[in-house]
Structure 1
C-alpha cells in the first residue's frame, strides 16, 4: 500500500528534531564539534544508543565506539544488510554531515519494527564513531573495525595532547583488545546503504532532492616541507634569498593551475600552510603544506601525484630549497554496486524524481565497506552544497524525499532477495 507524502513529511520532521538534539551536543558553543572519544562525542553516542534501545532494537556499543542496532531476522542463516553513516564531526561543523544518514536509518528500522516486518535478512544500523579522522588523523576508524581492516598499529597513534588511540578507547569504556571480534565476517555481509548530504552544489543548482551515487573518488594526501634559509628581512638582498614560503606559495598556485587543467576528472587542493618560527621581519626558513588530490580514476590519481611531485621538485630546484615529500594517506576509488544501484535508481524513479548519477568527491564509510560487500549511496540536496560549516542545511521536503526513496529501496531489496532465494531453491 502506498504511503501518503504527508507521512514521509512527518517522519522527516521527527528525524529533523533528533538532528537538532544531537547537534546541541558539542565541544564548543559555536557550530558543532564532536571529535571521536571526547566527552561530547560520548554524550552524542549515548543519545543515539538510547533512541535505538527505545525502538526495541538489539543495541550495543562495540570496542571502537560504534553504536550498533539490529532488527533481527528469524530466518536461519540470514546474512546482514547494513545501513550506516557517522556521528563524529570536523571542528565547527554543521548538523547533517553523517548524523542525517544515521538518524534516517534509525527511522527506517523503527518503522519496520512497528510494522512487525518479517525480513529475509538482518538489518543493522551502525553509527560509526570516527569517519572524519580529526583527532587522530585516521579516517574510517569505525568502518574499518566493522570490515576487519583495522590496523592494530594505529592504537599507539597520539592526538595533539599526547593521548593514544588505545587510551581514548579505554576512556570511552571500550577494550582495544576486542576490536578484532567486532568485525562482521565477509560471508555475513549482504550489502550496505548510506544516505548522506551531497556536500556539493549539483542538486542545489538543479533543484532536485536526491541523487544516485555511482562512485567515490580516491584520494592521495601528502605533506610537503620546504626548507631554505631564514634571514633578516631587511638585510638579505632579494636575489640571494632562499625563501621557503615563497617556494610554498608558488607551489600553491601551481597546484591550483594543475587542478584546473585536469578538471573535471581530478581536483587538487592545498588546504594547510604552516610557517615555522613565523615573524614579520624574518625570511621564512621552513614551511610545511598539505596536498589533497582526488579522482574516481585510480590510474589518473597515481599519474597526477607523480606530476605534482615533479612540479614541486622543479620549484624547489629553481629556488635552491630542500623539499621533503611525505605521503600521508592513499585511498583507492570505490565504485558502487551495479545491482544495488539499479534498485536504488528504481526507488528514486518510483518516488517521482529524476535519477541523477553523481560521483562523490568526498570520502565516505562506503569506501572501506565496498572492499568486502556491495555498497550503494543516496545523496540528499544541501544548501548551496555547503558542508563542514555551520551553514550546512537540509530542507524538510528534501529529507522527506530521501525517507521515501530509502523506504522504497528497502522494500525492493526485500522483494529482490526473496525472489533470488526462490529461484535458487527451485
Structure 2
C-alpha cells in the first residue's frame, strides 16, 4: 500500500479515536442525537471541517455541513456523507468512519487546488440510528426534503419533544424545510461505511460495492394473557403470555433460517410486564425486525409471520396486538454511480465484490432524490453495534485509495458531461 494512503488512513483513525473519547458513558461509545456529548462531538467535527477550509455550518436538525464550491455557479451538488450519532454502547466506526474519510478526500481537493466541475458537500448527519426518538434518518430526511413535520411532537424517554431538542441545539423548526438540497440540484451521493457483517472479513477483501439496501419492517407485538399465581393455576389452564411470545421467537428464527437466501428475521426485544418469578406472565411485548432486498418477498414474509403469530395466540387463548412501527422499502443503488465505483475498485487493484446491505443507511432517504452509491469497508470479524467494533489500517487505506479514484472518475465524467 502506498505510504500516502497509509498516512492518510492513520490520520483518519486518530480522529476516530478523538471523536470516540466523547461519550455519554464510559462503556463503549454512546452519542445520541441532541445530547451534550453529541453536541461536543459535532463541534469537534466542525472544527476539523473549518480547519480544512470548507464553508461550514450546522443546520437546524444538527447536521454538520462543509462545502467546496465550484466556479460553475449553476453546477449541481455531489454529497459525501454518513452519520455521527451512535447506538447505546456502540463501537467507534459505524458512521464516523465515513464522515472522516469524506473529510480526508475534501482536504486533498483543497490542497491540490482541484478545479471542481460541481459543488461538493460533506455532511455529518445528526441522527441515523433513531435511538432517542425511535425514528431513523432524521438528519438525512431533512437534507432529502422528506422530513415528517408530525415527528416534532414525539417525545423521548424524559418527555422532551423533538421540537424542544432541536431548539436546545440552537436549531429552528421553521427552517427545516429550507435545509433540503432541492431535487434538481443533486448530482449524486456517496457513502463509505463499515460492512457491519462478516463477508469481507471471511473473504479477506478490503472493500465491496453495495448494490442494494434491504427494506425493513419493524413490528411491535403485544401478547395479552392472564396473570396468575405460579403455584396454584394448573398448567393446562394457563394463559401464559410469555410462553406465547417465546414460541413466536423460535418460529421467527425458524422462518428466517428456512428462507435465509432471501431475508432475515429477528426478535431483539422482549418486555415481560410486571415480571416476578412466582407470577404467570399476563402481558409481554416483543419486537420483530424483518429485512429483505426483495420488496415482494418482504411483503409476503410479513404476512406469513403475522399469520404464524396469530395462530400461536389462538392456540394458547391469548390476545395479540400486531403493530407495524416502521416500513422502509428496499433501495437499489444507482447503476451509473455503481459502474464508476466498480471501476475505481478495479483500477485500485482489488476484486470487485458486490454486496447487498442488510443494515439501513442514510443512503436510503437520499436515494429518493439523488443517484446514490456506497462503498463497504471490511470490519474485524464483522462485529458492529458493539464496543469490539474495529477496522484494520490497511483496509482503511484501501478504501481511501478507492474513494479518491472514484472522485477522479466522477470529475472526469462531469468535465465532459455538463452537470447542470
Q: TM-score scaled by structure 1? A: 0.98
Deviation at 1:420, TM superposition (A): 1.6
Distance 1:166 1:19 in 2: 30
Superposition CA RMSD, Å? 0.9
Distance 1:381 1:199 in 2: 8
SS in 1 for 2:47: helix
SS in 2 for 1:421: coil
Question: What is the CA deviation profile of residues 310-345 of structure 1, one whole-angstrom value per residue up to 9, with x for unaligned ones?
Answer: 000000000000000000000000000110100001
Deviation at 1:206, TM superposition (A): 0.6
SS in 2 for 1:146: helix
Residue of structure 2 equivalent to 1:93: 90
Distance 1:138 1:313 in 2: 27
Distance 1:370 1:56 in 2: 28
State which of 253, 260, 265 in structure 2 corresponds to 1:263: 260
Residue of structure 2 equivalent to 1:7: 4
Residue of structure 1 equivalent to 2:205: 208
Residue of structure 2 equivalent to 1:107: 104
Distance 1:46 1:36 in 2: 13
Residue of structure 1 equivalent to 2:17: 20
Matching of residues 180-191 of structure 1 within 5 Å: 180-191=177-188
Residue of structure 2 equivalent to 1:281: 278
Distance 2:410 2:78 in 1: 10
Distance 2:168 2:367 in 1: 31
Matching of residues 163-178 of structure 1 within 5 Å: 163-178=160-175
Whether 1:50 aligns to 2:47 is: yes
Matching of residues 116-265 of structure 1 within 5 Å: 116-265=113-262
State which of 406, 409, 420 in structure 1 corresponds to 2:417: 420
Distance 2:353 2:19 in 1: 30
Distance 2:40 2:4 in 1: 30
SS in 1 for 2:391: coil
Residue of structure 2 equivalent to 1:302: 299
Question: What is the CA deviation profile of residues 274-333 of structure 1, one whole-angstrom value per residue up to 9, with x for unaligned ones?
Answer: 000000000000000000000000011011100000000000000000000000000000
Q: Which runs of 5+ in 1 are unaligned?
A: none
Deviation at 1:419, TM superposition (A): 1.8
SS in 1 for 2:286: strand
Whether 1:368 aligns to 2:368 is: no
Residue of structure 1 equivalent to 2:384: 387
Deviation at 1:30, TM superposition (A): 1.3
Distance 2:63 2:415 in 1: 30
SS in 1 for 2:166: helix
Distance 2:389 2:69 in 1: 35
Question: What is the CA deviation profile of residues 377-425 of structure 1, one whole-angstrom value per residue up to 9, with x for unaligned ones?
Answer: 0000001000000000011000000000000000000001112239x9x
SS in 1 for 2:418: helix
Deviation at 1:216, TM superposition (A): 0.2
Distance 2:258 2:172 in 1: 48
- What is the aligned length? 420
Distance 1:163 1:279 in 2: 31
Distance 1:20 1:72 in 2: 30
Q: Which runs of 5+ in 2 are unaligned?
A: none
Runs of 4+ in 1 over 6 A off after TM superposition: none
Matching of residues 73-92 of structure 1 within 5 Å: 73-92=70-89
Question: What is the CA deviation profile of residues 19-67 of structure 1, one whole-angstrom value per residue up to 9, with x for unaligned ones?
Answer: 0000000000110000000000000000000000111100000000000
